[in-house]
Amino acid sequence: MTMLDIKIELTTKPKEKPAPDELGFGHYFTDHMFVLDYTEGIGWHDGRIVPYQPLSLDPSAMIFHYGQSVFEGLKAYVTVNNEALLFRADRNFKRLNNSNARLCIPEIDEQYALEALKQLVSIDREWIPSAPGTSLYIRPFIIATEPNLGVHPSKNYQFIIIMSPSGSYYKEGINPVKIMVEEQFVRAVKGGTGEAKTGGNYASALKGQQIADKEGYSQTLWLDGKENKYVEEVGSMNIFFKINGTVITPALNGSILPGITRDSMIQVLKSKQIPVEERRISIDEVVEAAHQGTLEEVFGTGTAAVISPVGELKYLDEKIIINNGEIGEVSQMLYDTLTGIQNGKIEDTFGWTIRL
Ligand SMILES: *Cc1c(COP(=O)(O)O)cnc(C)c1O
């Protein structure tokens, strides 16, 4: 490991840590954050860990106007043996660079970012909650900071990592959600930014989410932006269908976000000899399977929830109930396997966990 040139300024006013059952998601932040600057002609420089604090930016900073930003989401866990670990964090920084390339943001050094994150998590180690299901959510992000209203890639950036202790996603057990196929709005189009983790994708998805909320559904099922026919994602998760014993997830096509949980699920399924296919799947095929009685399970995957089983799917005027509105066997197995690896109850034969 190379020596990191990271200045560390520890807080003189450590905050009180919230009670485990009050955590929720994204409300509380740890004592420190990591900051790295980019200046054209110099590159990335001045990596530092400093007390968590507000940013000071010029109102003309490009991030406020043209949305040039990328982010990541990952977690640190403490295992049953009280060891702190990160889950596939190397993949997050790799994906951050893919997003950077799409948004014309300069590449970061992935190894450096990972080591910086390890230092930050070590400093705020006490902030990783240990109650079952809890974790430390980590949000790395990059913003364009050049003060300039001209439309061009920014000349300056900040790469920042903040961390937030988060509560158990399933406090009252895993409850399947009701989702609704969005027919008017789309999340992403081929050639657009759907494959990049960038704030604009979330801004454009709010409308569909609002419509779903109004109708009593918790997530939007997004179809492709061209034919409005092929399934892409659910809310901000990847989606899987189990039809007649085979697990199917839409193939990455340029407008789908390549989830790390998605990739992990595919690998676990393969390791258990459960047939899994990455291919195009139309909403008509899903509805047809439901009519035939072969639609066995539907679930979303993402870092926050790991798995979110779908109990009801609404398309046009039809409401489809999946597996009696209960979590399916394969969904449960995948959830148990991934969370077991994350909390150290199951041996990590995949090499996914990274110790601090
Ligand atoms: C982050 C994200 C996911 C899930 O990715 P994970 O790496 O599994 O957390 C899926 N879809 C969208 C749109 C996302 O932004």
What pLDDT, on a 0 to 100 scale, did the predictor assign at position 3? 54
Radius of gyration of the chain (CA): 21
Distance of CA 239 from the midpoint of ligand 1 (Å): 10
CB 203 within 8 A of CB 258: no
Query: Using CA positions, which residue lies closest to atom 6 of ligand 1?
Result: 259
Is this model's pTM higher than 0.75 or not? yes
How much is the pLDDT for 4? 73
20 backbone dihedrals φ, ψ, rounded to 5° = -55, -35
Output b/e per residue, 24-53; b: 16+ Cβ within 10 A: eeeebbbbbbbbbbbeeeeebeebbbeeee
Per the structure block, which two tokens stand in for 162?
Answer: 């903040």
Q: What is the CATH number of domain 3-167?
A: 3.30.470.10
The CATH fold assigned to 177-342 is D-amino Acid Aminotransferase; Chain A, domain 2 (3.20.10)
Q: What is the pLDDT of residue 170?
A: 81
Chain-centre distance for alpha carbon 86: 14
Tens digit of each residue's pLDDT, the chain (356 residues): 445 789 999 999 999 999 988 999 999 999 999 999 999 999 999 999 999 999 999 999 999 999 999 999 999 999 999 999 999 999 999 999 999 999 999 999 999 999 999 999 999 999 999 998 899 999 999 999 999 999 999 999 999 999 999 998 887 778 899 999 999 999 999 999 999 999 999 999 999 999 999 999 999 999 999 999 999 999 999 999 999 999 999 999 999 999 999 999 999 999 999 999 999 999 999 999 999 999 999 999 999 999 999 999 999 999 999 999 999 999 999 999 999 999 999 999 999 999 98
Instruction: Give distance in angstroms: CA of 304 to centre of ligand 1.
Output: 9
**What atom in ligand 1 is closest to the CA of residue 262?**
8
Sequence spans of domains, the chain: 3-167, 177-342
Pocket mutation for ligand 1, best pick of 197, 222, 342 (most atoms within 8 Å of C-beta): 197
CA 115 to centroid of ligand 1, rounded, Å? 23
User: Could you give the CA distance from residue 266 to residue 277 in angstroms, rounded to a whole number?
Assistant: 9
Q: Please give the number of the atom of ligand 1 that sits closest to the Cα of 74.
A: 9
Other beta carbons within 10 angstroms of residue 102's beta carbon come to 16
- Which of 238, 239, 265 for mutating ligand 1's site (highest number of atoms within 8 Å of CB)? 238
Identify the DSSP state of 138. E
